[in-house]
Amino acid sequence: MTDQDTTSVTGPSGHLVIANTQLSPDVHRLVLAAPRVASVCLPGQFVIVRLGDGAERIPLTIAESDTDAGSIVLVIQAVGKSTRDLVALSAGDHIHDIAGPLGHPSDLVADGLVVCVAGGVGAAVVYPIARRLAELGVDVVTVLGARNEASLVYADEFAALGELITCTDDGTAGRNALRLGRRGMPAGRYRLTLVATDAGGKRSNRARRRFSLVATTARKSRSAAIDAAIRSVELAF
């Protein structure tokens, strides 16, 4: 599905930038008019954004959506020219086209405990999943990590869903992630299923890159599951 020429709010020049908020030194939150995408997107899906003719096509996870307002939220880290151009947009500017929603929605559960592990800008990938799980009545615990306190993203939003545990590389907020070690998860105390998701909507159990992880636990104690997720937080960095 391509969200173009849908309503007047989208406009002849493309998709309206409704707001641009800086979340951390290199991460911005863009609210965009995309009514068709907003009306059908599900947690775990993404869009492909093109700023203008000849511009690079960039896959970005849909962090939030508002059906009534006809808008979606994209969280973008400035790491190259194309993403720097996107985060430099101001309210009132336009993006040429937004294609989506794309990708398979995330697998969800309707009860029990889910430990969500997110690192850096990957918080925007995990947040819509965690929010929907909380809406379904799941006990959601989030382990949120970043290089330092200034780089933590979506902390307030995760805290509103349930318990929040923060970890930073330098120890400026929460636990010091670099001191957690790489002991892995103790065997026999519970079963832990990891699903790693990147901004392109792909999944992998080999979290070698800066993926965000969602850990669903079964046959476990709550504290053991949370401790295992904390010890694994380095996988998200």
Residue 30, classified by CB atoms within 10 Å of its CB into exposed (0-12), middle (13-18) or buried (19+), is: buried
Output the pLDDT for position 228: 61
Output the pLDDT for position 119: 78
Q: From the first residue on, what is the mean pLDDT of each consecutive set of 10 residues in the chain (237 residues)?
A: 40 83 93 95 92 89 94 93 93 92 84 78 88 87 84 92 84 64 35 35 36 48 63 46
Question: What number of CA atoms fall less than 13 Å from residue 164's CA on the CB side?
Answer: 20
The first and second tokens of residue 8, run together, are 């007047």
Fold (CATH) for 113-236? Rossmann fold (3.40.50)
**What is the number of residues in the chain?**
237
Output the pLDDT for position 12: 55
Cα separation of 125 and 62, whole Å? 7
Q: Report if pTM > 0.85.
A: no
Output the pLDDT for position 49: 94
Architecture per CATH, domain 15-102, reads as: Beta Barrel (2.40)
Output the pLDDT for position 8: 28
Asked, colleague to colleague, whether 15-102 and 113-236 share their fold, the answer is no
Output the pLDDT for position 167: 81
The first and second tokens of residue 123, run together, are 């918080």
The three-class DSSP label of residue 231 is: helix
Task: Give the domain ranges of the chain.
Answer: 15-102, 113-236
Q: Are the C-beta atoms of 108 and 43 separated by less than 8 Å?
A: yes
pLDDT tens per residue across span 13-50: 789 999 999 998 889 999 999 999 999 999 989 999 99
- Give the contacts of 182 (CB within 8 A, at least 6 positions apart): 231, 234
Output the pLDDT for position 203: 38
Output the pLDDT for position 166: 85
